[in-house]
């Protein structure tokens, strides 16, 4: 028996049509407190809040031209599978991701999804500071992250997400400025502009990590004042379109600046005496602080459903939130090499949550013919997801990426640039 909050909401009468996706998804009762813009800001914040920092690195992994194409491909799959996920929820009569998978694939599927949803948010943590990072992380966590994470209504994070989006745009402007003013100081690298590279599969993992918002889709959908499929499709299309536009410009400008030297954390590439980049680091740290509470909602919901039958008293709500924030902070304190973490988390957590689980649930629940467009596209996305997850994991383990966290890049010293140029063939 599922917990009470995982049961199906009372639905309006169904409309008799030949398309099972026409199931009415508008509840009789009013939904949450989020209007469309507020829900859209939460989706965008979930997509570009923290993972955006690794997108230039994905261009290095895939090859710049192929990387741009893959980025648009992952964005399309994200848009499609988010909507498909809500369709599957309506077909099953479930209103949470966990309840959907539990009904579709039983308790084993429920445990697998719960594990993926629980583990994914722990990569989100501030690790990009110039002064003692341990002290700053602890202070910002206690003063900012924890209080915001204690919210019980995700609709209240709409304004927080808007601030995060504004700061992300500020960071993008900084990266664009440095692409113009600093790229000439960075030496050229071999094969910087080849169409494709052998690490393209790992690059998809990094992009998937940046774009995933499926784990909180039901939370945001349920927070809508009018949770209908048409409203959800509208905000999804707009949010993903804006997110991919920002992500594409960020990835392109970051890679054009540093090319083959691009790190998993782009801000590691900038020199320590670059005041504009330092301000960008500060802005990015704030965006991570503002993004983590959305991820905390998901992890807390998983714990509530698995161990507390879906209900947390006020005391347990506070205790569970403090534990989640403390564990995530501890991880960010002891581990700071971002590249390989983005790849592993992308292929092992983000890829199943984006590519595999939504399509697998829809295919099992849908009564459409096998040659229906949704069925064909779902099969294709599912196949790609399995390949990316399997091949990406193997390649990441066999060829782990080096990390230069905290080291000043050689091109920040004029003498090193002269020495580097003298070694080049005439």
Which has more confidence, 410 or 234? 234
For the chain, what is the mean pLDDT?
80
Longest distance between any two alpha carbons in the chain, whole Å: 77
Q: 74: pLDDT confidence band, cut at 50, 70 and 90?
A: very high
In words, the CATH class of domain 4-422 is: mainly alpha
Please give the model's pTM, rounded to 2 decimal places: 0.79
Query: Would you list the domain boundaries of the chain?
Result: 4-422
C-alpha torsion angle, residues 182, 405, 341, 319 (rounded to 10): -110
Q: What CA–CA distance (Å, rounded) separates 161 from 168?
A: 10
User: Helix and strand tally (H, E) in the chain?
Assistant: 17, 0
User: pLDDT by residue (tens digit) across 103-139?
Assistant: 999 989 888 888 887 766 655 554 444 444 555 666 6
DSSP states of 251-319? HHHHHHHHGGG--SSGGGGS-TT-HHHHHHHHHHHHHHHHHHHHHHHHHHHHHHHHHSTT---HHHHHH
**Stretch 220-239: mean pLDDT, rounded?**
89
Of 105, 83, 94, give the one whose Cα is nearest residue 21: 83
User: pLDDT by residue (tens digit) across 151-194?
Assistant: 777 777 778 888 888 989 999 999 999 999 999 888 888 888 99
pLDDT of residue 306: 77
For the cut 50, the answer to whether the pLDDT of residue 1 exceeds it is no
User: pLDDT by residue (tens digit) across 248-304?
Assistant: 999 999 999 999 899 888 888 899 889 999 898 888 878 877 877 777 777 787 788
pLDDT of residue 386: 94
Residues β-bridged to residue 27: 11
Per the CB < 8 A criterion, the answer to whether 31 and 146 are in contact is no
Q: 275-307 vs 158-181: helix axis angle to the nearest 10?
A: 150
Q: 421: pLDDT confidence band, cut at 50, 70 and 90?
A: low
Per the CB < 8 A criterion, the answer to whether 137 and 304 are in contact is no
């Amino acid at each position: 028996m599922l917990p009470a909050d995982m049961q199906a909401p009372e639905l309006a009468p169904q409309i008799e049509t030949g398309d099972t996706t026409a199931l009415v998804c508008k509840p009789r009762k009013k939904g949450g407190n989020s209007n469309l813009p507020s829900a859209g800001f939460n989706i965008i914040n979930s997509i570009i809040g923290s993972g955006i920092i690794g997108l230039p690195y994905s261009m290095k992994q895939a090859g710049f031209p192929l990387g741009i194409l893959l980025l648009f491909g992952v964005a399309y799959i994200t848009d499609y599978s988010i909507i498909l996920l809500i369709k599957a929820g309506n077909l099953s009569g479930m209103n949470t991701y966990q309840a959907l998978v539990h009904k579709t694939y039983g308790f084993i599927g429920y445990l697998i999804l719960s594990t993926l949803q629980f583990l994914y948010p722990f990569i989100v943590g501030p690790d990009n500071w110039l002064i003692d990072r341990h002290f700053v992380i602890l202070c910002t966590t206690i003063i900012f992250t924890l209080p915001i994470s204690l919210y019980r209504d995700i609709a209240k994070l709409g304004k927080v997400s808007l601030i995060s989006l504004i700061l992300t745009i500020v960071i993008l402007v900084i990266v664009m400025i440095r692409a113009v003013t600093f790229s000439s100081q960075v030496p050229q690298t071999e094969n910087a502009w080849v169409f494709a590279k052998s690490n393209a599969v790992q690059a998809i993992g990094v992009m998937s990590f940046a774009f995933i918002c499926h784990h909180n889709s039901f939370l945001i959908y349920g927070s809508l004042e009018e949770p209908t499929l048409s409203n959800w499709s509208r905000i999804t299309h707009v949010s993903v379109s804006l997110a991919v536009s920002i992500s594409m410009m960020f990835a392109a400008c970051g890679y054009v600046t540093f090319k083959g030297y691009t790190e998993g954390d782009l801000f590691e590439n900038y020199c320590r005496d670059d005041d504009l980049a330092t301000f960008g680091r500060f802005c990015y740290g704030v965006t991570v602080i503002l993004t983590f509470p959305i991820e905390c909602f998901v992890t807390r919901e998983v714990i509530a459903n698995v161990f507390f039958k879906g209900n947390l008293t006020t005391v347990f709500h506070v205790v569970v939130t403090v534990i989640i924030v403390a564990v995530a902070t501890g991880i960010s304190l002891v581990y700071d090499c971002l590249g390989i973490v983005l790849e592993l988390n992308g292929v092992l957590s983000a890829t199943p949550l984006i590519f595999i689980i939504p399509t697998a649930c829809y295919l099992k629940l849908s009564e459409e013919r096998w040659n229906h467009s949704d069925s064909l596209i779902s099969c294709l996305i599912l196949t790609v997801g399995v390949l990316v997850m399997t091949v990406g994991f193997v390649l990441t383990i066999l060829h782990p990426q080096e990390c230069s966290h905290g080291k000043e890049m050689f091109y920040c010293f004029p003498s090193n640039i002269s020495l580097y140029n003298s070694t080049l063939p005439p």
